[in-house]
A and B are shown apart, each in its own frame.
Chain A
Amino acid sequence: MSPERVLQNEFKQLSKERWVNIALQNESLLQWTVDLMVLNPDSLYYGGYFRGNLTFPSEYPYSPPRFSFNPPLFHPNIYPDGRLCISILHPPGDDEMSGELASERWTPAQRVETVLLSIISLLDDAEISSPANIDAAKMLRDDKAEYKRRVAQDVEKSKENIPSGFVVPTDEVLRKEAATKAAKEKVDDDADFWAESDEDFDFGSDTEEEDNEMGEDAGVGEEEEDERDSEDEEKMED
């Protein structure tokens, strides 16, 4: 069996996610360009748009993919060439990270999504005891302020990768979307409530407007979701 069928499915599902943009390199399902967005406002990396290469071996999913940031980030667990030191990407039998929890290791049932989310959480959860970048680990330990300044530099620089016309969803936008969606669901779920309660009706129509305003930039609402789906399929065929 070749890994293409599983990867095609993974690609399609990930194309729907707001926190990541993916594209195939050289029309190969085994090589992806992955743009990771940090949407958590509490993160040092909030607002960043970090580009990386994700490469799948021909024996995927029996061996893990490889990931490297391009350009590299200044981080205790990222090698100066951009590769990551993260247990979920370690090939089976590689005990370099012994001491890590077994649950964080690669298995054939892991998803690309899990890997990418692990990479995003690694950014703020740096492990300095066995660093890939010793300078970064020292700085994080001894000079937190300077470290934050370096991270802010990386975040600013990463924004150069944002494709023209693309808007990285902000925390504010995502919160409004979530509220709109929740309100809509509440209204849809209970037609009587909709008809009888003026208050709720008003709430619904207010957010409906916001919904449309944002729609142009961020792409919200179920219809737009469907359009995104068909775009993804076109992308796959390219």
Chain B
Amino acid sequence: MEDTGHNHMDKTTSRDEELAEQRRLAGEYVPAYDGLLVSQKLSTELIHEEYATGDIAYQVKTSNLSKDFGFFRKIRGDGNCGFRAFYFGLLEVLIELGDENLLKAQKTRFNEVNGLLVRSGVDSIIWEDWVEATNRLLNLLISTKHKEERLEALFTAFNNEDDMSDEHSRELLTHLRFLISYHIKENPEQYKHFVPDGSIDAYCSSLETVSAEMDEVSLTAAHNMLSSAAGINIEVLYLDRSIGNSVTRHKWEPEKEKVRGVITMLFRPGHYDLAYPRENAPS
């Protein structure tokens, strides 16, 4: 999806070389996580440093990126990064807004869309753990009283991948992934023109394998289901070799509600992280 309108090829470079280069850069980047699934907030200077010896286009863009976006969180690139960034980002924005009712409304919204799982005809033994994981996390966030403690609880839950523990981030992400897939299957008219060959079935089957990465279709579906009605924007910053000195910015707006907050995702070919604007940055 990264080359839809954002990726103007350098005319002197063949497309194959271009792709190989992007893969190399993405490949260099992805393994560099610090052992966490979602890192603490880190300075975006680190991103600039990563490209110090790399492509000039990246050097310029990463330098400008850190002017407007001071911090980022590294998200583990294990095929779940886009889903992890969206889900963590959504709850983080709701917590930062500091209103417990927004968390309660989000729990209600999740339980409404859980009807997709019931209607899918898939045995509830398969998905009830996923639903429970989301409910448990939202209950924990709601019952925790201070913003800092809530953020800590969110951070802990998303970094927990211990199979034997209750807060199991894999279940959270699988929940989101299957909600997105079943939402798309229930609304084929809305999505069929955006999936490869117009095949909703093939697209969703691939989405349900736990390694299929998030793309703009699944991000749009996630937004339509979970963040739009909450009044949360999604903004994606595309850091690639397209023309220009800054990252390409693209927004998913909420449909009706007034904008309460923004999830900012930093996209490099094949990978999503979260980014945080400086207070005085242009929006």
**Would you call B208 an interface residue if the criterion is a C-beta within 8 Å of the partner chain's C-beta atoms?**
yes
CA distance A41 to B145 in the complex (A): 66
Whether A1 contacts B211 by the Cβ 8 Å rule is no
Quick one: which of A9, A61, A102, A111 contacts B205, CB cutoff 8 A? A102
> Which residues on the A side are within 8 Å of B210 (C-beta)?
62, 92, 107-108
CA distance A62 to B211 in the complex (A): 10
Quote the shortest CB–CB distance from B206 to chain A (angstroms): 4
Quick one: which of A92, A103, A106, A108 contacts B201, CB cutoff 8 A? A103
Q: Type the 1/0 row for B170-193, where 1 means its CB is closer than 8 Å to any CB of A.
A: 110010001000000000000000
**Would you call A227 an interface residue if the criterion is a C-beta within 8 Å of the partner chain's C-beta atoms?**
no
Q: Type the 1/0 row for A1-23, where 1 means its CB is closer than 8 Å to any CB of B.
A: 11001100100000000000000
If A92-B211, A108-B174 touch, does A103 touch B122 (CB 8 Å cutoff)?
A: no
If A107-B208, A107-B209 touch, does A58 touch B163 (CB 8 Å cutoff)?
A: yes
Quote the shortest CB–CB distance from A99 to chain B (angstroms): 13
> Which residues on the B side are within 8 Å of A103 (C-beta)?
201-202, 205
Q: Type the 1/0 row for A100-124, where 1 means its CB is closer than 8 Å to any CB of B.
A: 0111011111010000000000000
Quick one: which of A5, A58, A93 contacts B211, CB cutoff 8 A? A93
CA distance A92 to B164 in the complex (A): 21
Whether B126 contacts A109 by the Cβ 8 Å rule is yes
Q: Type the 1/0 row for B70-91, where 1 means its CB is closer than 8 Å to any CB of A.
A: 0000000001000000000000
> Which residues on the A side are within 8 Å of B202 (C-beta)?
101-103
Chain A minimum-CB-distance residue to B165: A1
> Which residues on the B side are within 8 Å of A59 (C-beta)?
163, 170
**Would you call B268 an interface residue if the criterion is a C-beta within 8 Å of the partner chain's C-beta atoms?**
no
Q: Type the 1/0 row for A158-199, where 1 means its CB is closer than 8 Å to any CB of B.
A: 000000000000000000000000000000000000000000
> Which residues on the B side are within 8 Å of A106 (C-beta)?
209
Whether B174 contacts A62 by the Cβ 8 Å rule is yes
| A interface residues, how many (CB within 8 angstroms) | 20
Whether A1 contacts B171 by the Cβ 8 Å rule is yes
Whether A102 contacts B209 by the Cβ 8 Å rule is yes
Quick one: which of A93, A105, A107 contacts B79, CB cutoff 8 A? A93
Chain A minimum-CB-distance residue to B123: A111
Quote the shortest CB–CB distance from A172 to chain B (angstroms): 33
Chain B minimum-CB-distance residue to A61: B126
**Would you call B168 an interface residue if the criterion is a C-beta within 8 Å of the partner chain's C-beta atoms?**
yes
If A102-B206, A105-B205 touch, does A92 touch B125 (CB 8 Å cutoff)?
A: no
**Would you call B127 an interface residue if the criterion is a C-beta within 8 Å of the partner chain's C-beta atoms?**
yes
Quick one: which of B123, B166, B208 contacts A1, CB cutoff 8 A? B166
**Would you call B255 an interface residue if the criterion is a C-beta within 8 Å of the partner chain's C-beta atoms?**
no
Q: Which residues of B contact A (CB under 8 A)?
A: 79, 122-123, 125-127, 129, 133, 163-164, 166, 168, 170-171, 174, 178, 201-202, 205-206, 208-211
Provide 21 A-B residue pairs closer than 8 Å at the C-beta atoms, listed in order of the A residue. A1-B168, A1-B171, A5-B125, A6-B126, A9-B125, A59-B163, A92-B79, A92-B211, A93-B211, A101-B202, A101-B205, A102-B202, A103-B201, A103-B202, A107-B205, A107-B209, A109-B122, A109-B127, A109-B178, A109-B208, A111-B123
Q: A1-B166, A59-B170 are in contact. List 9 more A-B contacts (CB 8 A).
A: A1-B133, A1-B171, A62-B174, A102-B202, A106-B209, A107-B205, A109-B122, A109-B126, A109-B127
